[in-house]
Amino acid sequence: MDIASMNVRSLLKKSFPQVDADVSLADAIAKMVGVFEQEVLVFDNGKYLGNISPWFILKSRADVSKAKARNSAVVCPKVSLDDSVVSVAQRMLDSNAKVLPVFSGSFFEGTVGASEIIKQMASVEELSNIKVSSLIAYPLTVQENESVDKVIKVMRSKNVERLVVLNKDKVSGMLFFDDLAKKFLLKKTSDSKAYVSGFGKGTLRKNPNIPNVLKSPISNELSAVFPTADVSDSLKKVLVNFNPRTGIVVTSNGVLKGLLTTHTLLKVLASVKVSTRNIQFSNFPVLDEIDKAKADKTIETAYDRIAKLVGQEFTLHIHFKQHQKQGSRINHSIHAKVLSAKHNFQADKAAWNFLTALQETLSALDQEMKKKLRSVSSKQKASGFQKSRRKK
C-alpha cells in the first residue's frame, strides 16, 4: 500500500470523547479513562475549543473539581479531509497531540487519531523489515515496591502518562495515568481532596477516617494486560497488537529492553515522505525516552546544517563506543564522518555524559567541514586568478 497517498477522509471518526466547555476538569478526565488516545475534545455551543490530555493535567496544579474544561483546553492544529496521513503524523508530532480535529472550511467534520493512522502502517511494505530494536527507547521505570504517592510525583515531574514497573530487572506490569486518575483523582469521599495531592494543588489533607492509600505499594495498582514483543521482532509483526495507550513493551528473556511508543511510530511514518536524511548508526546505545528525543533532535539539526554546507548527496555515519571507567561511570566516545562524492570529513570526541559527547562531536565535525571547505574555496579562487593572468 502507498500510505503516502492516503488521506484523512478514509480514517475520519465521527464518534469521539467530548465535553462541554463549562464542565469541571474532573468530568473531562472521567471521559478519557480507558480511551486509546486518552484525549477529550472541548466544545462551546458546538464550537471546537481544544483538547484536554494527560500531558496538560500532569503539568497543571489546578483543583480538578473547580477548574473548567474551557480553561484547560489546548488548541490543536486543524486538518482537512484531503490532507495526507503522512502530513497529519508530522502535525501530531509538532503539537504533541494524538487526536486532531478535522474541518471542511469552518465546519467540524470529526477527528483523526494516532491509533487509526498507526493501524495503516502494518500494510506498508517498506516498513516490514524494520526491527523494533532500532526504534525503542528505554522508558522511565519504577520498582513495584514504590509507593503510589511517589509514583504520582514521578509522573507529574516527568510529564509521562505511563510507567513500566519492574521487579528488579524483570517487567511485572504497567501503570497508567487514567487508572490512577480513576481511583485516586475522581474518587468521591467525605473529604473530596483526600486523594488528589499528587495531581492537583495542595498537600494531602489529614482525615483519620480515610486510609492513606497513597503510601501503599504500586504493586496493588498494576495492570498486567499490555502488549509485549521480543527485541528481534519486526515492526510489521508488532503493529498488529499496538495500543497507543500502552505502547509495546520490548523484552529479551523477560528483561526490559525498551518501549515502542506512539511518538516513535509517528516519526517513522513521517519519514516515509518528509525525511530524506541519510544517516547510518553503529552501536547506538539504549537511552531513556527523554535523552533519545534530545539525541534525535541534535542529530537531525546537525544533518540539516551539513546539507547546507555540502550542497550535494552525502551520508552521515556516527559510531558510538562506551568505555566503563572509574567504577560505574561510562565514558562515551563518538566518531562521526561525512562521505560524499567530493568530500570526506570526520571528527571524534569523548565525554562522561552521552549528550555532551554527541553535541561536541557534531560541533567539531561542523568546524572541520567549514575549515576544509574554506581552504578548498581559497585554492579555487587562487587557481582561477592565475589562469586569468596567464590569459592576459
Are residues 161 and 147 part of one domain? Answer: yes
What is the number of structural domains in the chain?
3
**Residue 373 in 3-state DSSP?**
helix
CA 376 to chain centre: 41
Residue 328 lies in a domain: yes
In the sheet with 255-260, reading across from the earlier edge strand, the strands are 141-143, 162-167, 170-176, 255-260, 248-252, 228-230
- Out of 9-13, 210-214, 347-351, the most confident range is 347-351
Q: Are 353 and 361 in contact (CB under 8 A)?
A: no
49: number of Cβ within 10 Å = 18
The pLDDT tens digits of the residues spanning 140-155 come to 999 999 988 888 888 8
Q: Are 187 and 120 in contact (CB under 8 A)?
A: no
CATH of the domain at 334: 3.30.160.100
Residue 149 lies in a domain: yes
Residue 391 lies in a domain: no
Are residues 253 and 152 part of one domain? Answer: yes
**Residue 113 in 3-state DSSP?**
strand
Are residues 305 and 234 part of one domain? Answer: no
Among 242, 266, 290, residue at a domain's last position = 266
Are residues 106 and 77 part of one domain? Answer: yes
Mean of pLDDT values over 180-196: 53
Q: Are 3 and 119 in contact (CB under 8 A)?
A: no
Higher pLDDT, 3 or 284: 284
In the sheet with 47-52, reading across from the earlier edge strand, the strands are 18-20, 40-44, 47-52
Mean of pLDDT values over 247-256: 90
Q: Between 114-121 and 85-95, two packed helices, what is the crossing angle to 10 degrees?
A: 130
Residue 205 lies in a domain: yes
- Out of 95-104, 127-136, 148-157, 219-228, the most confident range is 95-104
Are residues 19 and 63 part of one domain? Answer: yes
The pLDDT tens digits of the residues spanning 276-302 come to 578 888 888 888 878 887 888 899 889
Mean of pLDDT values over 1-12: 77
Are residues 237 and 327 part of one domain? Answer: no
Residue 389 lies in a domain: no
Higher pLDDT, 384 or 32: 32
Residue 392 lies in a domain: no
**Confidence (pTM):** 0.62
The pLDDT, as a whole number, for residue 210 is 39
What is the overall mean pLDDT for the chain?
A: 82
Check whether 111 has a pLDDT greater than 90.
yes
Among 102, 127, 152, residue at a domain's last position = 127
Residue 69 lies in a domain: yes
**272: confidence class by pLDDT, cuts 50, 70, 90:** low
Are residues 102 and 150 part of one domain? Answer: no
CATH of the domain at 16: 3.10.580.10
| Domain range enclosing 87 | 3-127
Among 127, 146, 164, residue at a domain's last position = 127
Dig out the grid coordinates for 159 from the structure: 510529564
Q: Are 216 and 171 in contact (CB under 8 A)?
A: no
Q: Between 262-271 and 114-121, two packed helices, what is the crossing angle to 10 degrees?
A: 60
Are residues 255 and 194 part of one domain? Answer: yes
Dig out the grid coordinates for 309 from the structure: 554546507
Are residues 141 and 119 part of one domain? Answer: no
Residue 390 lies in a domain: no
Are residues 329 and 204 part of one domain? Answer: no
Are residues 375 and 288 part of one domain? Answer: yes
The pLDDT, as a whole number, for residue 168 is 87
Are residues 287 and 184 part of one domain? Answer: no
Helices (H), 42-169: 54-59, 85-95, 114-121, 148-158
Amino acid at 276: T
Q: Are 249 and 173 in contact (CB under 8 A)?
A: no
